[in-house]
Amino acid sequence: MPLPARGETDINAQLDAGLIQVDGTVDYALSDPERQAIHELYALYDQLLGEPNPRLDMEALSACNDALHNAYDQVQKGGRLKSMRGSLLRAVRECPLCGAAPATTLDHHLPRAQYKSLAINPRNLVPSCQPCNRAKGTVVPSAGQGMVHAYFQALPTATFLRATSSYIDGALAISFYIDDTVVPSPLHERLTFQLTRLNLDERLVDSINIMLFTLKPSLEMFRGLANERAQIQEYLRGAARSYNKDFAWNHWRSAVVLSLSECDAFLDDPWTYLDKPLILTEALEEDVG
Ligand SMILES: [Zn+2]
């Protein structure tokens, strides 16, 4: 994911927009040493790749912490930092955490309540969909847990997001996992934590069903052919390569289709599943109010 742009004037302009109202009323007047300390804090955050560290808790910022925390209100829709919000959200095609919904919110990688002085640091604001943002909550990265930083974490180029498909009597269950032969510890633990924390196995069920029903008309072409099974397997492999081009191998779409291309039970009889009506789990939830 592209790093949000940063320069001397950007930081100062962002601080001014966050702390000074349109009519010139100053919510908090930063002293020069405080302003300098914020520049140092942001540089330290980059140097630490967004990992928590006691050095981020700067004594020099104790008086302005709350003002910086509250300045995040200006990053909300219609706020004075709304252009920063827009440029952060526009930088991604979809939520980088799940890859299944548009990013409509900003998530504080290091939680705002605990890291007040980083509240409007754009490098700490990661675009995400609302369900991912809510599921992530205020988790702070530590050994073996926490979210992977979308701006800073270098990931292997090899395929590490895998899925297992189980298929019984036309019922399809997909489960994601991180291949530990590709991703070593501790990154393996963190990515696994992220998968579990975001509950992607459950949350992606509707998206997976929609994707597979979108493929159904193409799969129909092979129905009843003598080599139906081989054709369907080849088609699914091709679909995985195509999704990889559009989304990457470590995207749930590629992982699911690849996994189905290796699932004997599905290849033997995809039709019991595909001939059922598409019912989305969201439609099964009870109405509220
Ligand atoms: Zn998401």
- Listed in sequence order, the residues at least 6 apart from 201 whose beta carbon sits closer than 8 Å to its beta carbon are 174, 175, 176, 195
Q: What is the pLDDT of residues 224-274, one digit of tens each?
A: 999 999 999 999 999 999 999 999 899 999 999 999 999 999 999 999 999
Q: How high is the pLDDT of residue 1?
A: 85
What are 237's two structure tokens?
Answer: 């492999």
Q: Which amino acid does the sequence have at 232?
A: I
Q: How high is the pLDDT of residue 281?
A: 82
% of residues, the chain, pLDDT over 90:
89
Q: How high is the pLDDT of residue 280?
A: 87
- Listed in sequence order, the residues at least 6 apart from 118 whose beta carbon sits closer than 8 Å to its beta carbon are 41, 45, 56, 68, 108, 110, 112, 124
% of residues, the chain, pLDDT over 70:
98
Ligand 1 mean position, distance from CA 97 (Å) = 5
DSSP conformation class of 162: E
Tell me how far apart the alpha carbons of residues 148 and 187 are, in angstroms, rounded to a whole number. 8
Ligand 1 mean position, distance from CA 202 (Å) = 13
Assess contact for 151 and 121: CB atoms under 8 A: no
Ligand 1 mean position, distance from CA 172 (Å) = 22
Model pTM score: 0.91
Phi/psi class of residue 172: alpha, beta or left (left: φ > 0; alpha: ψ in -120 to 50)? beta
Q: How high is the pLDDT of residue 287?
A: 62
b/e 183-219 (16+ beta carbons within 10 angstroms → b): beeebbbbbbbbbebbebbebbbbbbbebbeebeeeb
CA 214 distance to own-chain centroid: 24
Q: How confident is the model at residue 72 (pLDDT cuts 50, 70, 90)?
A: very high
- Listed in sequence order, the residues at least 6 apart from 176 whose beta carbon sits closer than 8 Å to its beta carbon are 161, 162, 163, 195, 200, 201, 204, 252, 255
Ligand 1 mean position, distance from CA 93 (Å) = 11
Q: First-to-last CA distance in the chain?
A: 39
CA 42 distance to own-chain centroid: 22
Ligand 1 mean position, distance from CA 275 (Å) = 29
Q: What is the pLDDT of residues 113-135, one digit of tens each?
A: 999 999 999 999 999 999 999 99
Domain residues of the chain, as ranges? 8-136, 161-284
Residue 241 sits at φ, ψ, to 5 deg, of -65, -40
Ligand 1 mean position, distance from CA 133 (Å) = 7
Ligand 1 mean position, distance from CA 129 (Å) = 4
Tell me how far apart the alpha carbons of residues 4 and 125 are, in angstroms, rounded to a whole number. 9
Ligand 1 mean position, distance from CA 54 (Å) = 29
Q: How high is the pLDDT of residue 109?
A: 97
What are 167's two structure tokens?
Answer: 């298929």
Tell me how far apart the alpha carbons of residues 73 and 123 are, in angstroms, rounded to a whole number. 17
pLDDT surpasses 60 at 178: yes
Which of the residue ranges 53-57, 166-170, 177-181 would you say has the lowest mean pLDDT? 166-170
Q: How confident is the model at residue 288 (pLDDT cuts 50, 70, 90)?
A: low
Tell me how far apart the alpha carbons of residues 150 and 184 are, in angstroms, rounded to a whole number. 18
Ligand 1 mean position, distance from CA 138 (Å) = 15
Task: Please list the alpha-helical segments (H only) found in 75-227.
Answer: 82-90, 130-136, 187-197, 200-203, 205-220
pLDDT surpasses 70 at 22: yes
pLDDT surpasses 70 at 106: yes
Ligand 1 mean position, distance from CA 99 (Å) = 6
Computed over every residue of the chain, the mean pLDDT equals 94
Ligand 1 mean position, distance from CA 231 (Å) = 33
Ligand 1 mean position, distance from CA 159 (Å) = 20
Which residue has better confidence, 56 or 1? 56
Q: How high is the pLDDT of residue 2?
A: 87
Q: How confident is the model at residue 77 (pLDDT cuts 50, 70, 90)?
A: confident
Q: How high is the pLDDT of residue 284?
A: 64
Ligand 1 mean position, distance from CA 100 (Å) = 6
Element (H, E) at 12: helix 8-19
Ligand 1 mean position, distance from CA 40 (Å) = 31
Ligand 1 mean position, distance from CA 55 (Å) = 30
pLDDT mean over 195-221: 96
Q: How confident is the model at residue 279 (pLDDT cuts 50, 70, 90)?
A: confident
Task: Please list the alpha-helical segments (H only) found in 26-147.
Answer: 32-47, 65-71, 82-90, 130-136
Ligand 1 mean position, distance from CA 35 (Å) = 34
